[in-house]
Structure 1
Amino acid sequence: MAAASVTSPWLLRKAFQALAFSQPLHTNKHLSFYGNLCSFPFQYPLRSSGLCHIAQVIKGDNDVLLKGVGDKSAIEEVKHILDTARRAATRREVFHTDFLTPPVLKESMIVLQKLADVKAVAQGGYPQAERCRLSIGHSEVLTNDPNVVAAINISGNFSFQPCSHGDFLGAILGKGIAREKLGDIILQGEKGAHVVIVPELVDFLMSTLDKVANVSV
């Protein structure tokens, strides 16, 4: 299936065009690591699609805050993120979540807007990212950290056997990588795909991924 996004494939490809024409930091067969990505959360409002956004985050009771969560299926994850925000406020440290789904991201940002003393920045590697990580901490220590997300280019001979979003996702999950460690997968047609991932798993994926469906990479 196509990559899940309310943004057109053309716009997504445009967002990653800089990667396509940049020099990779290192390569392994048909896998290229383009380094850590800095997302651009400051200019974009939060929408239901989960676009990156920055939020000012009063102390309150968790149950009261969670009553405002519209998507009840997201409550447990939002509660965990709220607990993380409280730890960040107490310890004056910055905490990073895994990649969140658009509904969880949206509900989390709404709840975090009701908190004080900390901010939350969503980072997904590019402005239209649907799956983003939240960085939570006091404003004086919180930055738009380029080390929170990274990107890998997966290339191969996809001309005769195009692969879907599910093919790329299945190949990566098959290596034991959890879904929450992956951001968006941006299809590039016969060129392959760009994959947003947590930086600490870049080397592992590049050393283990050798095939997507029946196409060698």
Structure 2
Amino acid sequence: MIVLQKLADVKAVAQGGYPQAERCRLSIGHSEVLTNDPNVVAAINISGNFSFQPCSHGDFLGAILGKGIAREKLGDIILQGEKGAHVLIVPELVDFLMSTLDKVANVSVSCTQIPLLALEYEPPRTQSFKTVEASLRVDALASAGFKISRSKLVNLISNGDVRVNWTTVTKNGTTLKTGDIVSVSGKGRLKIGEINSTKKGKFSVELIRYL
């Protein structure tokens, strides 16, 4: 996405429905057209009596996929405890899901569309720490942030399992900056915080790990 935004008159916007969204849709277009975040994600509230049969993320996902909806058409699923869940989905499938989804596991449910501002989610828990590195390369900072070897991180990049700002990274030497979000499949996410230069020419970097 960063590369696209460097092109003349091109803007890229990632939208997942709420600030901490892991699954986002990327809209690309001329800067004068994408003046605001495009409305490419919709939200559905799935409600039912889950008091006696709590359902997991997998239960909701399985019920939705069972209706023939492809996984790439779905965003995050935000569990709401006994009340059900909020689901992010492409707008063109809202009516279909609301008219076909009537059960999650053995619980009868009803679906209603809600505005994105009505989404209920908890602020993420984070842990901050600092590392001193010779460079700001993604393989250096991500290996420090996720506490895995640099060689293993390089393998994850080769397998397409590392993303920066929701865009898959293909080069180990991709340079990071303050505010970048790094995601690694199976490991979670971290944010690049404040960056300062040391007297020895290295970089002191604040890493914010999402728990």
TM-score by length of 1: 0.48
Structure possessing the higher radius of gyration over alpha carbons: 2
Higher helix share: 1
